[in-house]
Amino acid sequence: MNDGSMQPYGLTLNKFLDHAAKWYPEAEVVTGGSGEVSGRIGYRDLRERALRVAGALAALGVRAGDRVATLAWNSQAHVEAWYGIMGMGAICHTLNPRVAADVMAPMLRQSGAGVVIVSADLLPLALDVSSKVQIRQLIVIDGSSGGIEGASSLEALIAAAGPCDRWGDIDENAAAGLCFTSGTTGMPKGVVYTHRSNYLHTLRLLQADMIGLTAADAVLAAVPMFHANAWGLPFAAPAVGAKLILPARHLDGASLARLIVSEGVTVAAGVPTVWLGLVEHVEATGIALPSLTRILVGGSPMPAALMERIEDRLGVVVQTSWGMTELSPAGTMASPQDRNRDAARSGRPALGLDLLLTDADGGALPEQRGMEGHLRVRGPIVVERYLGQENTALDANGWFETGDLARIEQDGSLVITGRAKDLIKSGGEWINPAQIEEIVCALPQVSLAAVVGRQNIKWGERPILLVEMREGEDLDDVDLLGALRGRVASWWIPETVIRLAKMPTAATGKVDKMRLRSLYSRT
């Protein structure tokens, strides 16, 4: 007796673009410039160009399983390269142009990418990297190669090549992408995504309590494609036929506001510092952004005062989230319908990810709600082992230790209470910088705040407070520290306040705690 069966259907990433090209052929991918749109294309034509990118790479000898790097901003050409690489079965290694060549070179050496697709304005950086690690071919997008030896124009290569004849013929468990962690708390590590893991991650994003995009949306990806695949937006937008707006390198408030108005942006995603710039521009100019309904925030915690300011000034819903490069990267997200939404809560996990709170030794806490613990996760979108490492990244029960301290509220919302590596041990007791930072950032005069430990002969470490004030504002030390009294233990209160003209941020826009510790941890 035949029990029946279902069709085999590989969960491969080319299918998102294939779907958009067939059913939403005229829906647009728009690239922004400095003050105006520099290009627009429909999904049908973008797919044709992606096929030709794949054909051009094949003509250069790139085969399935090879790694091809991109060093580029968010643009149409980058998306075409992205799909071209992955659609032919190669692996797309996104490089972060905000890191130094000395940091980038070991990543390239480890990935083994011999071909790098680079934005024209980043050619000097690419050439600097190529002096430290062997690169066989530089392919230039979004501008001219300038006649530089060893650099070819992608447009010229596309013109000479036919479409790829091996499109989508891929095992769903094959590697599709490679992204290195930000390195804000340690050395960067390579995370390899598979077609299947990113496909399932996209389905999670499209759930109504996550991003829940539809064909009626116009999505502004102000989070870079080199930052954990722009949180999956270049997959999610074509999956539903949504318009995708890419700002290139222009993330200042004025440029983003012009794009939001001209393209009717409904949903925008980026780190808190991006939205601080936008709201400051809106306050200074009085410009209205009537189409914008939601802003998705991730990458680093959002101060409650900034969230309230954005919602009040822009009239939007702010969806906070928590995730990691190792999670593809979306872990949890506040639902747009959640009436208990606040800056501290990062929402519940969508189907496909499970959470566990443990003690410092990895034992599950007997109560999982209302208790602070070390956060562990598991699911098909979670890293199993890092690039080049023989040992698994999971514990004996298959859980990945995130390094975050967290609490799960009674309604299931996740609250990240700090990073285990950020904790300061003073007199044998622990101080959590995140709690201090949240209180100080709530002051209307403060833009950003960070707390790090400084060596102390008597106590081992003592916390110091570093602040970046809002333009034209100031508070004396007594008032800054006074905001903490009665809200944290008295011995948690920093003894030193340092004002910074500009808070250092890492390549992903997070406050760079490693740099702050290197500069200020010693007396």
Rounded to whole angstroms, the Cα distance separating 432 from 101 reads 34
Within a 13 Å sphere around the CA of 467, how many CA atoms are in the beta-carbon half? 29
- Dist CA 81 CA 60 (whole Å): 14
Structure tokens given for 210 = 């996550």
Marked catalytic residue, from 421, 425, 429, 491: 425
Ramachandran region of residue 398, left (φ > 0), alpha (ψ -120 to 50) or beta? Answer: left
CB 266 within 8 A of CB 291: yes
Token pair recorded at residue 4: 């029946």
Q: Give catalytic status of residue 326 as yes or no.
A: yes
- Of the residues 31, 181, 266, 273, only one is catalytic, namely 181
Active-site residue, selected from the candidate residues 367, 430, 491, 495:
430
Q: What is the DSSP string of 409-455?
A: -TTS-EEEEEEGGG-EEETTEEE-HHHHHHHHHTSTTEEEEEEEEEE
Contacts of 142 (CB under 8 A, 6+ apart): 72, 73, 75, 77, 78, 119, 120, 121, 248
* Whether 15 is catalytic: no
**SS3 for 188-203, per residue?**
CCEEEEEHHHHHHHHH
| Alpha carbon of residue 100 to chain centroid | 19
Question: What torsion do the CA atoms of 174, 176, 181, 187 make, to the nearest 10 degrees?
Answer: 60
Burial of 258 (0-12, 13-18, 19+ CB in 10 A): buried
Residue with tokens 């999971």: 394
275 in catalytic set:
no
Whether the Cβ atoms of residue 124 and residue 401 lie closer than 8 Å to each other: no
23 is catalytic: no
Taking alpha carbons only, the member of 324, 301, 513, 298 closest to residue 400 is 324
Are the CB atoms for 27 and 43 separated by under 8 Å? yes
The residues assigned a catalytic role are 181, 326, 425, 430
